[in-house]
């Protein structure tokens, strides 16, 4: 699950508002944590050309777990990749002689976010 895909899946201030209306103590604690982390994340990410100002939480790990429940949230391809550091960032570079992996290449981000929101709203 490459970062290029997971960066497309995030909660916005609107999602956070929806989650705040949940009765779950866990979800309230999660919202509190998002509110603490959001300004730090914004300062780190806002220079990216695709950054959206209302993003409050990128869902890297939740997306990875969500595909265990619904694999159709992402599209996979078999790619030959080797690890590399490019401009100080870990990347997987396509290379004909590299080992082949099944890699997520696209995500239905709106459907994934709604999938995650709905699961959180169902928590007691």
Q: In degrees rounded to 5, what are phi and psi of residue 69?
A: -90, -40
User: What is the mean pLDDT of the segment spanning 90-97?
Assistant: 90
Tens digits of per-residue pLDDT, 103-123?
999 999 999 999 999 999 999
Indicate whether 89 pLDDT > 90: no
Both structure tokens of 71 = 């694999």
**What is the percent of the chain where pLDDT is above 90?**
82
Q: Give the pLDDT of residue 100.
A: 95
- Give domain 3-121's CATH architecture: Alpha-Beta Complex (3.90)
The pairing of beta strand 74-86 with beta strand 89-94:
antiparallel
Q: CA 105 → CA 31, 88, 100, distances in Å?
A: 29, 22, 14
Q: Report helix, strand or coil for 99.
A: coil
β-pairing, 74-86 with 100-107? antiparallel
The predicted-structure confidence for 59-71, as pLDDT tens digits, reads as follows: 999 999 999 999 9
Sign of the torsion angle spanned by Cα atoms 20, 46, 4, 84: negative
- What was the pLDDT predicted at 2? 87
**pLDDT per residue as tens digits for the range 69-78:** 999 999 999 9
Position 35 pLDDT exceeds 90: yes
pTM above 0.85, yes or no: yes
Q: How is the chain split into domains, by residue range? A: 3-121
């Amino acid at each position: 699950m490459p970062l290029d895909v997971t960066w497309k899946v995030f909660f916005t201030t609107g999602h956070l508002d929806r989650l705040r209306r949940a009765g779950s103590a866990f979800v309230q604690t999660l919202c509190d944590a998002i509110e603490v982390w959001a300004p730090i994340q914004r300062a780190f990410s806002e220079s990216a050309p695709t950054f959206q100002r209302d993003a409050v939480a990128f869902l890297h790990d939740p997306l990875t777990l969500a595909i265990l429940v619904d694999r159709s949230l992402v599209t996979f391809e078999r790619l030959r990749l080797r690890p590399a550091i490019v401009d100080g960032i870990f990347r997987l570079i396509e290379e004909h002689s590299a080992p082949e992996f099944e890699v997520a290449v696209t995500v239905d981000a709106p459907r994934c976010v709604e999938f995650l929101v709905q699961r959180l709203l169902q928590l007691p």
